[in-house]
């Protein structure tokens, strides 16, 4: 996975990939090319995303500074109504009181909203290393989409433009995040599936053995006192063996390459 993301970073920054727009591609199997779907001007789009993310973050920061004062001015008892998700579907009066007060939709305040955008801004571009992090593109896209849907009343300048640019990049980054060609996708997918299946098998085995243990404890209640004493000794021995067996099988072997690199 580390190799795939490093290669994806190189493709985006070099702008060498043209399979996104080139319908006259000479390759017999264009979908087999590395990083298919990444726009050829991805490096320019990435810089635009970084600039626009910073622009939006600065606006939210200003709103966050005055959050306490706004709450006092717009609410007599300084109370924020809880977010009712059931009312959020198919109605135009979603969080009407909060929207009228100029607050973010839902239970998120400006301080949390600023923290969300600040994290994206810092994660997307490392100024000290002068390096972009491709894995932040889907998060920027999701955050833009959320605020356009729920916080459009805040009129954040540049948010719509950021959404359009982030979507172009996300359409190329997301399909290539876990492999930039079919061979890598199969390799990474099989490793992820192996770990998940291993965890499922461990849980099923532990559940089965736990059920057997509970059944044995219930049946012991019907035994005579002398038989119960003998059964207790056997049950204690079995419990110790079960605990050792469970502890030894809790972890699924994992290669270093299986670990997600962020």
Tens digits of residue pLDDT in 97-153: 778 878 888 888 898 999 999 999 999 999 888 889 988 999 999 999 999 999 999
For 93, the token pair is 């009066």
Backbone angles phi, psi at 131, to 5 degrees: -140, 140
Residue whose structure tokens are 């072997």:
253
Between 42 and 239, name the one with better pLDDT.
Answer: 42
Between 131 and 77, name the one with better pLDDT.
Answer: 131
Note the pLDDT tens digit of each residue in 160-169. Answer: 999 999 999 9
Position 200 scores a pLDDT of: 96
Burial 98-126 (b: 16+ CB within 10 A, else e): bbeeebbbbebbbbebbebbbebbebbbe
Average pLDDT of 172-188?
Answer: 85
Position 77 scores a pLDDT of: 46
Residue 91 has pLDDT above 50, yes or no: no
Q: Single out the residue of 169, 101, 102, 158 nearest to residue 134, CA to CA.
A: 169
Residue whose structure tokens are 């090319």:
33
Position 176 scores a pLDDT of: 84
- The rounded distance, in Å, linking the Cα atoms of 199 and 203 is 6
Position 71 scores a pLDDT of: 47
- The rounded distance, in Å, linking the Cα atoms of 220 and 182 is 57
Count of residues for the chain?
A: 262
Average pLDDT across the chain, whole number: 76
Position 238 scores a pLDDT of: 59
Instruction: Give pTM, 2 decimals.
Output: 0.62
Average pLDDT of 67-83?
Answer: 48
Q: Single out the residue of 233, 56, 35 nearest to residue 161, CA to CA.
A: 56
Position 98 scores a pLDDT of: 79
Q: Single out the residue of 173, 174, 141 nearest to residue 159, CA to CA.
A: 141
Position 78 scores a pLDDT of: 43
Position 251 scores a pLDDT of: 56
Diameter over CA atoms, the chain: 86
Band of residue 87 on the pLDDT scale cut at 50, 70, 90: very low
Average pLDDT of 18-27?
Answer: 46
């Amino acid at each position: 996975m580390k190799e795939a993301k490093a290669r994806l970073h190189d493709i985006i920054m070099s702008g060498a990939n043209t399979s996104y727009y080139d319908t006259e591609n000479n390759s017999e199997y264009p979908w087999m090319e590395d990083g298919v779907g990444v726009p050829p001007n991805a490096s320019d789009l990435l810089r635009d995303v970084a600039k626009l993310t910073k622009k939006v973050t600065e606006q939210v920061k200003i709103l966050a500074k005055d959050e306490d004062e706004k709450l006092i001015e717009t609410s007599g008892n300084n109370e924020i109504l809880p977010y009712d998700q059931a009312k959020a579907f198919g109605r135009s009066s979603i969080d009407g009181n909060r929207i009228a007060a100029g607050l973010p939709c839902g239970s998120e305040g400006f301080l949390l909203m600023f923290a969300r955008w600040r994290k994206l801004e810092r994660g997307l571009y490392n100024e000290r290393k002068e390096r972009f992090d491709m894995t932040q593109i889907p998060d920027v896209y999701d955050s833009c989409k959320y605020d356009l849907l729920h916080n459009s009343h805040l009129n954040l300048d540049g948010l719509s433009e950021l959404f359009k640019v982030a979507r172009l990049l996300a359409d190329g980054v997301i399909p290539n995040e876990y492999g930039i060609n079919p061979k890598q996708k199969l390799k990474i997918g099989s490793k992820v599936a192996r770990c998940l299946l291993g965890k499922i098998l461990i849980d099923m085995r532990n559940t089965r053995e736990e059920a057997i243990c509970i059944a044995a404890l219930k049946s012991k209640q019907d035994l005579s006192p002398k038989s119960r004493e003998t059964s207790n000794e056997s049950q204690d021995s079995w419990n110790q063996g079960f605990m050792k067996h469970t502890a030894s099988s809790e972890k699924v072997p994992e290669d270093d390459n299986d670990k997600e690199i962020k």
